Structure 1
Amino acid sequence: MSGILLLDKPLGLSSNQVLQKIKKIFCVNKVGYVGTLDPLATGILPILFGEGTKFSKYLENSIKSYSVIIKLGQTTSTYDSEGIVLEKKKINFTDFEFYKFLNAFKGCINQLPPIYSAVKYKGIQLYKYARKNIIIPRSLRTVYIYKLDCVQRYGNLIELDIMCSKGTYIRTLVHDLGQMLKCGAHVIFLRRLQISLYNINNTITLTKLYQCSQLYFRLKDYNIFSNLLIPLKTIFFALPEVQFFSSIIFKKKNKICFISHKRPGIIRITIKTQKNMFVIGHIGNLGQLIACKILNIE
C-alpha cells in the first residue's frame, strides 16, 4: 500500500506516538511522517506509506502555514505552555512598537533551536540534555518567514498567522518576539494549517481512522483503507513544471540540451504521452535542464 494520509494530529501526542498508532491501525511497517509537530501542536501531519517514504524530502522542504496564539508577560523553559515559567514581566509596549518588531521577523532570519527540541548533538536530542540541565552549544539556522500577521489581540493574548520555510521553530520566533517587546512571550496554541499544497480541510482524525479500522475488520474490504490515501504524485505538484511530448530523450544521467526561462531549482518534468510517468530534475544557473530521477507512480 503506497500513498499519503493527511492526518489531523490530536493534542497531547508526539508525532512519533501518532505514527505508532497508524502502524497498528493499518498493520504496516513501511510508513513515516513529514514535519514533526510537538505534543502541544495540532494540525496537518502527512503520513507516507510504502514507496512514499522515499519522497519525504520533497515535502520536508515545503512551505508551511500555522495559526498561533501567544501569551505575553511570561517566559518559559520550553518557549510554550508545557514548560516552567522562568520570568514574569509587565506588558508595556505601544502598538507602533509591536508592529515594528513583528515586521522585523519577516523575510530571512536566523534562529537558535530551543534547548527543548529534537535537534541532535552527538546523536542525542537536545531535550534529553536539557532534562539533565546540561548546556549544549547550538548553531544558528537560517529560515524564511513569508507571512507574519497579527489576527487579533485580547488582553495578554495575541493570535498570529504564520507562513514559513522548512526548519522554522515557531516557539523560538515567539520567544524572540517576547524578548524584543521586553515582556516575554510563549506559545499556548499551535495548529498547522497547510504544508505544501495540502490543506487542513482535507485531513482525517485518529478517531475517524479507528472507526474505519473497525469497519474494515467487519467487512474485510481493503478499499476502506486504500481510499483514504491520496496519490504519491501529488507530492510533486508544488514544483514548477516543464512539459515534453516524448520520454525518448531521457536516459540515465542525461543532461538535456534545453534552456529554460524558469528559475534555477528542482522541477517536475511531465510527459504528455504517459500520464503516470514524470521526471524529477533541476534547472542549473545557466538555464540548462538536467534529468535526475524517472518516476512511474500513481
Structure 2
Amino acid sequence: MCKNDIHGIFLLDKPTGISSNKILQKVKKIFCAKKAGYIGTLDPLATGLLPICFGESTKFSEQLTHSKKCYYTIAKFGEATSTYDTEGIVLNSRKVKFSTRQLYEALRKLQKQTVQIAPIYSAIKYQGRPLYRYARKNIVTPKITRNIKIYKLHCVTYNYQFITLKITCSHGTYIRRLVHDLGKLLTCGAHVISLRRLQVSDYKITNAITLKKLHTIIKKYPLYIYRSILLKLLIPTQTTFLQLPEVICSDYHAIHDIKNRIFFLNNNTPQIFRITIQNDNSIFIIGKIDRIGKLILCKVLKM
C-alpha cells in the first residue's frame, strides 16, 4: 500500500480497551500516512482526546505534549488495586467512613500537590525499560517522581462509594495516582473505574472523530472520495500556537533582529513565540530566546 506525505493534526476520540500505540497504527493505516505520532499516552482503559500528528506536525508534538490537559474520571472508594484502576488486582478492601468535610479537605490537599510519584504500572522508563515490565516480574525499582501542577480539581458528583472528578492538570500528571492518593488520604483506598480526556491545550473532545466514524467513511465512499474527506478532517499545525506572542518579519533574513524587537514590544523576553514572515504563508516558525539572549529557531515548518 502506498504511503502519502500528509501534514496536520487529527483529533481522535480514542475507544477503551486498546493502547495508544495500537490505535495510532490503525489511524496511520487508514490515512495511508508515512509519518505519524500521538500526543499524550492514554491507558487502554481510558477514552477521549488523542491528538495524532502527521508529517511535519510531528516536529511540534513536544509543545502539545507539555500543554495543559483536562480529564473526567469516575473512581471507586473502598478498594485499592495494584494498577490504581480496574485493570489490576485488589490489594485491600476497607469500609468507606469518611465525612463530606474530610473528602473536600483531601481534595484541597491534592490540588496543592506539586510532586507526584509515578505508578509502578506506567510507561516511564527506568534504565531503558518501562516500569510496568519490572512490576509484572515483581522487580522493585526506585520511585520516580515528577513535578506536576493541578490547576483545577472539581468534584462533579459523590454518592458514598463513587466519586466523579473533573481535573485540569499539567503534563506528567497521572490521574490514577491522584485517585490512589485520595484513597490513602481518606484511609479507605480508591481506584479509577473510568477515565476520559476532554482537552489537550486548546483542542477539545467535542471536535474529535471516533474510529467508528472513520470506518464508516471508508465503507460509504470510494477510495478517491474518502481520502479527500479524511484530509479535510486535519487541523493545520499552526493553529496549536495561535495563542503565543507573535513577531512579524518583513522577510526570512530579518529574523536575526527579532531578539531586540521582542524585548521592545513585550518589555520582557517570552519563553517561546511564533514568527510570521510577512506576505509568506509557506513558512511557519517557532522560536525562543535562551538564558544568554541567543535566538533559537526551535521548529521550522514548510507548509
Q: Partner residue of 1:9?
A: 14
- Are the structure 2 counterparts of residues 222 and 65 from structure 1 closer, same or farther at C-alpha, using a change threshold of 3 Å? same
Q: RMSD across aligned C-alpha pairs, in angstroms?
A: 2.1
Q: Partner residue of 2:250?
A: 246
Instruction: Determine if the alignment matches structure 1 residue 230 to structure 2 residue 220.
Output: no
Q: Partner residue of 1:269?
A: 275
- Are the structure 2 counterparts of residues 218 and 226 from structure 1 closer, same or farther at C-alpha, using a change threshold of 3 Å? closer
Could you tell me how far 1:13 is from its partner in structure 2?
A: 0.6
C-alpha distance in structure 2 between counterparts of 1:272 and 1:197, whole Å: 26
Q: Partner residue of 2:156?
A: 151
Identity of matched residues, %: 49
User: AA paired with 1:24?
Assistant: K
Q: Partner residue of 1:58?
A: 63
Deviations 1:194-235 (A, max 9, x none): 000100000000011112223454545531221111111112
Identify which of 25, 34, 44 aligns with 1:20: 25
TM-score by length of 1: 0.91
Deviations 1:51-110 (A, max 9, x none): 111211011011000001110111000000111000111112122211111011224511
Native 8 Å contact 1:279 1:291 kept in 2:
no
Q: Partner residue of 1:171?
A: 176
Could you tell me how far 1:262 is from its partner in structure 2?
A: 5.2
User: AA paired with 1:242?
Assistant: E
Structure whose residues are more often helix by fraction: 2
Unaligned runs of at least 5 residues, structure 1:
none
C-alpha distance in structure 2 between counterparts of 1:264 and 1:56, whole Å: 20
- Are the structure 2 counterparts of residues 243 and 108 from structure 1 closer, same or farther at C-alpha, using a change threshold of 3 Å? farther
Structure whose residues are more often strand by fraction: 1
Could you tell me how far 1:282 is from its partner in structure 2?
A: 2.3
Native 8 Å contact 1:118 1:125 kept in 2:
yes
Q: Partner residue of 2:3?
A: none
Could you tell me how far 1:25 is from its partner in structure 2?
A: 1.4
C-alpha distance in structure 2 between counterparts of 1:63 and 1:294, whole Å: 20
Unaligned runs of at least 5 residues, structure 2:
1-5
Figure out how many residues of one structure are paired with residues of the other and give that number: 294
Deviations 1:98-135 (A, max 9, x none): 11110112245111111111111111111111111111
Instruction: Determine if the alignment matches structure 1 residue 282 to structure 2 residue 288.
Output: yes
TM-score by length of 2: 0.90
User: AA paired with 1:3?
Assistant: G
- Are the structure 2 counterparts of residues 206 and 172 from structure 1 closer, same or farther at C-alpha, using a change threshold of 3 Å? same
Native 8 Å contact 1:71 1:187 kept in 2:
yes
1:183 aligned counterpart, secondary structure: coil
Native 8 Å contact 1:233 1:297 kept in 2:
no
C-alpha distance in structure 2 between counterparts of 1:135 and 1:176, whole Å: 20
Q: Partner residue of 2:109?
A: 104
Tell which deviates more after alignment, 130-139 or 101-110. 101-110
Could you tell me how far 1:297 is from its partner in structure 2?
A: 4.3
C-alpha distance in structure 1 between counterparts of 2:147 and 2:180, whole Å: 17
Q: Partner residue of 1:85?
A: 90
Identify which of 48, 55, 58 aligns with 2:53: 48
2:138 aligned counterpart, secondary structure: coil
C-alpha distance in structure 2 between counterparts of 1:86 and 1:221, whole Å: 49
Q: Partner residue of 2:44?
A: 39
C-alpha distance in structure 2 between counterparts of 1:197 and 1:276, whole Å: 23
